[in-house]
Structures are given as structure tokens and as C-alpha cells.
Copies of this chain bind each other. A is one copy, B any other.
Amino acid sequence: MYIVPEKLGESNVVSPLFVQTNTRIVGTSFIPDDAFIPLEIEHYANFPGEVKQKYFEKAGPREKIYFNSENTVVGIVTCGGICPGLNNVIRSLVVELWFHYGVRNILGFRYGYEGLNPEKNLPPIQLEPEGVDEIHDEGGTILGTSRGPQDPEKMIACLRSTGVNLLFCIGGDGTHRGAYQLFQTVQNKKYPIAIIGIPKTIDNDILFTSRTFGFNTAIEEARKVLICAHTEAKSVRYGIGLVKLMGRDSGFVTADAVLASQLVNYAIIPEVPVDLYGEKGFLAWLEQRILTREHALIAIAEGAGKEWIKENKTQRDASGNILHPDIGIYLKDKMVEYFHDKQIPIQMKYFDPSYLIRSVPANAEDSAFCDALARNAVHAGMTGRTGITIGYIHNQFVHIPIEMVITGRKKVDPNGHLWLSVVASTGQPL
């Protein structure tokens, strides 16, 4: 059982890439439409039957495409929090569309989905290669971004009035939910508009995708912060460094930063609940550590510790993400209180570096990744595929139906090797 995304129509257009590559054996360059990547690749020699599993269409340039250059008007929009690599993605979308597919009409919508709401009065920017040539040197997004949904009817009115028939929505969970609404509305009305998602989540928690852009850079920056926190903690007696890292629902940033730094003594993530109090609780462990080693470094994901807090007010931010009380501050206060009671004169050094981590330019690895991601998004869009996003599994880019990626979030497996490696590095109790 595998997934074939809806096509807007039959591909009658020969890819302009064909012309460029036809001095070569072309067969290996274009991806055939029957190429798929399985979700599970492990093979168990002693397992008797066949595994029923998911397959995703392999991404890449197709020999026949749907859109031709003259009639294509492309829109690009960036939504949600900023993330290293946004400008790289914008740049490579423009460059691929312009030079390889001959598209000359590329609109950058301002400030996220707000830029698609005509009432916000934010006219889009015309994008050309020259204007985007150096934007990958900078963090953030030249288009601007915003959180939260806009009325799909209004957004479609905007697409219709600007003539956009291929829209790239770069963003996370909320953005993809918005893109899915847009896709459904467009489908219902039978408008020939393709909607392609490009996943952006610094938490790296998109389903069916091993890695999202900016994550690698984020770990680099998070490691720097952990090194600083370690220095602060061990330069004073009973010093405790506490670093709150990104991860609203998933502990990937925290886990990878622990492994990259090899400095953390205890890591706390949403997927692995921890008792604060009690003989086997975190605070008792920390007391022991502090008394014997005189310093400690703790990393906590922002989404961890929900079980510690009773009062469950479900406030949400503009994107619809649940707003939790600040768990870093909460834990800091509990530690201060605990050691005050124990009369151990700890020195608390608290770090909340999220803005500093996500606003830097993409590192080399993420830059190359963003380039490939954006070009594959263009390849997908130009074939007339819609309602899909660009995933990445087993080192391969694939097409994933947006409705699949918005069904949940990827999590750290508490029994899997990532988390066991973290525990091996920190030495914390299981």
C-alpha cells in the first residue's frame, strides 16, 4: 500500500530540464513516477511474513511536468517562528524556478499568511535571482513571518487576484494545517492552484521526516550555550547551569545537543517524565551530584515537565500551539527553593537561548540541505502535484501528503537508541 498524491491533470509538458540534460544518459537523472521509498527499512531474517507498510513517492525532477513557464505564477510564504535556512530556501526556490523552469513571475508574500489576507494590505514582493543572491548569508526571513491562520477564503481571493497558481508554504505544523485547509478549499472549488508544503520546524518534530532544515545549525548553537553554562557552573562552588532548549512536544534538540556537547549531567524531555521530588526524584539526584562534584549542568526541553504543574490553563499562541507556563523558570525556582531548604548555597545560572539559536544563518550542512529541499519542492510543484509536503527519510527526499504530516508529531522513543545514547552520555538514572 502506498500513496499517490492527486495530480491536477495529465502532464503534457516536457520538462525544460530535459533539454539541458539530453546530452547525457538521462535515465538516471529524472525520477520515474513509480519510484517509492519505504518508511521502514529494517529487514528481520527470521521474520516469517511480509510487513505491511507505508511508501512515499520519491522526490526529484520528472520528465513530464504540468506547468509551463509562461503561465506559471508562483507564490512563496514563510510562517511561524524563524529558523536557520529560511532565506536559503527562498533563494533556491527562486533560482530553480527562474533558471531551470523559466518561471519569471515569482511573488514573495509578506509576514506569513497575513500577507495572503487582502485586508492586511501587505502587497507581495516580486522576487528575482539578483535580489536573492546573497540573502542566505543572513538569518531570519526576508519575507517576514507571522503566526496563526488566516481565513482560507480570503487567502484564495488573494491567490486568484494575483494569479498565483503554485504556492509554496514554508512552515511548521500550524502552517501545514493552514496549507491543508487551503488545498481542500482549492480542490473543492476546482481551482487549478497547487499547494506545496516545505516543512520548517526547529524542534525537528515533523512526522515521517528524519530531519528538518535549521536543526543541524540549532544543535551547533545549542552546544555553544551548553559550553557556556558548563563554564559558569564549574567556575563557582555549587554552581548549577540550567539551560532551557527548544522542543514544545519533542526532545530532539535537547537530546542532540547533549550528544554533541557531552557536557550535560541530566537531560529532561517531554517524552520521558521525571519526578522532581522523592528519594529517586531529580532533586535528590541533583543534591547528591552537587555535594560530590560541586557543580552540575542540566538541560530541559521547553515542553518537558508538564506533569509537574497542576493548573492546566490551555492558553494558545497565535499559531494554536498550547502555551505552557515557562518550565525553565519553574524548574529554576524549584531548585532554588529545594537547596535553600537544605541550606546548600547553590549558585543558579539560568539560560534561555532560543532566540539566539534560531536567528543565526544556516550552517554549511543546513545550507546544502535547504538547497536540495527547495529544488525538490520546485520539481514537485512544477509537475502539478498538490497537497503534499517535502519529507526526508533514510537520506532521501520524498513527497508526503500534507494530511499525513498533520496527524501528529514525531517523538523521541524513550526506549530507542537516541535516548539511550543520551542517558549513556549524561550518566543520569534511567
- CB contacts under 8 Å to B, within A183-240, are 210, 216, 219-220, 222-225, 227-229, 231-232, 234-237
A150 on the B face (CB < 8 A): no
- Are B231 and A138 touching (Cβ within 8 A)? yes
List chain B residues, Cβ under 8 A from A44.
32, 34-36
Chain copies in the assembled complex = 4
Main secondary structure of the interface of A (DSSP, over half): mixed
Q: Could you mark each residue 111-143 of chain A with 1 if its beta carbon is under 8 Å from any beta carbon of chain B, else 0?
A: 100100000000000000000000011111100
List chain B residues, Cβ under 8 A from A223.
364, 367
Q: Could you mark each residue 52-85 of chain A with 1 if its beta carbon is under 8 Å from any beta carbon of chain B, else 0?
A: 0001001010000000000000000000001000
- Are A359 and B231 touching (Cβ within 8 A)? yes
- Are A36 and B45 touching (Cβ within 8 A)? yes
List chain B residues, Cβ under 8 A from A34.
44-47
List chain B residues, Cβ under 8 A from A38.
41, 43
A51 on the B face (CB < 8 A): no
List chain B residues, Cβ under 8 A from A228.
139, 355-356, 359-360
Task: Pick the most buried of A26, A111, A216, A235: most chain B CB atoms within 10 A of its CB.
Answer: A235
- Considering the complex, give the chain B residue whose CB is closest to the CB of A26: B415
List chain B residues, Cβ under 8 A from A138.
231
- Are B236 and A144 touching (Cβ within 8 A)? yes
Query: A160-168, A174-182, A257-265: which lies at the B interface?
Result: A257-265
- Considering the complex, give the chain B residue whose CB is closest to the CB of A357: B228
A371 on the B face (CB < 8 A): yes
- Are B234 and A365 touching (Cβ within 8 A)? no
- Are A424 and B96 touching (Cβ within 8 A)? yes
- Are A100 and B35 touching (Cβ within 8 A)? no
List chain B residues, Cβ under 8 A from A236.
111, 144-146
- Are A415 and B24 touching (Cβ within 8 A)? yes
Bound-state Cα–Cα, A46 to B32, Å: 10
A277 on the B face (CB < 8 A): no
List chain B residues, Cβ under 8 A from A42.
35-37, 58, 396
List chain B residues, Cβ under 8 A from A349.
355
A394 on the B face (CB < 8 A): yes
Tell me which of B232, B259, B353 contacts A140 (CB under 8 A): B232
A368 on the B face (CB < 8 A): yes
Tell me which of B45, B229, B360, B416 contacts A355 (CB under 8 A): B229
Tell me which of B111, B261, B394, B416 contacts A41 (CB under 8 A): B394
11 A–B pairs (Cβ distance < 8 Å), ordered by A:
A2-B45, A25-B415, A36-B44, A41-B394, A82-B235, A99-B424, A146-B237, A232-B359, A256-B368, A261-B364, A349-B355
